[in-house]
Amino acid sequence: MVTVKSDGPKCGEAMGDLGVIDKGYVVIENGLILDVNLGEGTEYIDSDTYVIDAEGRVVMPGFVDSHTHLVHYGSRENELELKLKGVGYVDILKMGGGILSTVRATRKASFDELYNKAKKSLDLMLQWGTTTVEAKSGYGLNFEDEVKCLKVAKALEHPVEIVSTYLGAHAIPEEFKGNVDGYINLMINEIMPYIKKEGLADNVDAFCEDGFFNLDETKKVLEAAKKLGFGLKLHADEIVPMGGAELAANLGAVSAEHLVAVSDEGIDAMKEAGVIPVLLPGTSFYLRLKKYAPAREMIKKGLAVAVASDYNPGTCPTESLQSVMVFASLGMGLTPQEVISAVTINAAYAIGRGNEIGSIEKGKKADILIMNAPNENYLIYHFGINHVDMVIKNGKIVVRDGKIIN
């Protein structure tokens, strides 16, 4: 049993310690973990006890996907040929594609269309072992449609738990072209106060990148969010080293995300401030960047690295966190043990849920996977398949034999 037991996020070399218990047991009662230990736990078994024998398989915490763009509409397979020809991400945006094409589709979509599409994605995520996701908005880019997307995320009835983040500063909407300050004022004065009042998001994020929002603009948005009581997250240094990691540290952000082009100074600043780097190797793979975030350097310096899917329609269209775990290992050089820490306990802390989920420990929610694998190394070694046999969410079996139980 892989417990990933930890008093906080696993930092540096500690990411390699998964708290493995051979021939152990876990007791679940009322959706929570009552006990976990060596042995068979026979003292807890009576005629009313439901017993699951997981011998020969890996028992581990449910995956926490700490960076997704869950609610959106449309798809962008038409951009694949451009990517293969070497057309850059920002260049596609300037051609009217990228984020803005998804914005147009999302604005046209009804609440029900968005709900049904997001639910299908959650079904896939759950079947592949994800039990909690962070869902960023950012494809409405106006008051009405950002609120619509956040309300969809809140309304979704699904075993997968959703933590919402407002990402209005994802791109500059077409109607505000040449008027970035006007859009920032809309976010600060109208959208964010409403979202806070209605309880539609826990965090605010911003895309600090060349061609999107510069450092000063990002700082203005996030400082306003902080005053309203939101947690802060930051798309930082994905393509160009903008100093986003340093800004995240200065503002006391919970996490900085992407970080492919992060500087050494940015890594040091995050370490000093306790910012969790959320790395997205699937995006580096899909964009053919030939470069990944420097995960090994971050671990060497003692950071608590998290890994997430970045599920979105343009730069990482996959709901499979298991696939991204392979990219994290083979692309960034993380050991299977470090990858598991990155998608469980560290990811849980990256979305403010580390005290509730992310490990198999007494008192935490019983979010548990049983994997068809003899050990944790096999999860990375045998890639391209779904290793999930059973998913338990809040103490209830929701996936059995890889199929969702309604």
Query: Residue 94 has what pLDDT?
Result: 63
Residues forming a β-bridge with 166:
204
- At 113-138, the pLDDT tens digits run 999 999 999 999 999 999 999 999 99
Q: Quick one: tokens of 187?
A: 């976010």
Name the burial class of residue 400, with classes exposed (0-12), middle (13-18) and buried (19+) by CB atoms within 10 angstroms of its CB.
middle
CB 333 within 8 A of CB 294: no
- At 59-100, the pLDDT tens digits run 999 999 999 999 999 987 776 776 677 766 666 666 666 788
Query: Residue 93 has what pLDDT?
Result: 62
Q: Quick one: tokens of 99?
A: 């984020």
Q: Quick one: tokens of 126?
A: 């759950």
CB 315 within 8 A of CB 257: no
pTM, two decimals, is 0.96
CB 245 within 8 A of CB 267: yes
CB 363 within 8 A of CB 33: yes
The string over 245-258, giving b where at least 16 C-beta atoms fall within 10 Å of a residue's C-beta and e elsewhere, is bbbbbebebbbbbb
Query: Residue 75 has what pLDDT?
Result: 85
CB 317 within 8 A of CB 299: no
Query: Residue 90 has what pLDDT?
Result: 64
Name the burial class of residue 109, with classes exposed (0-12), middle (13-18) and buried (19+) by CB atoms within 10 angstroms of its CB.
buried
Query: Residue 180 has what pLDDT?
Result: 97
Q: Tell me which residues of the chain have a pLDDT lower than 70.
A: 79, 82-83, 87-97
Q: Residue 94: enclosing H or E segment and its boundaries?
A: helix 89-94
Query: Residue 92 has what pLDDT?
Result: 66
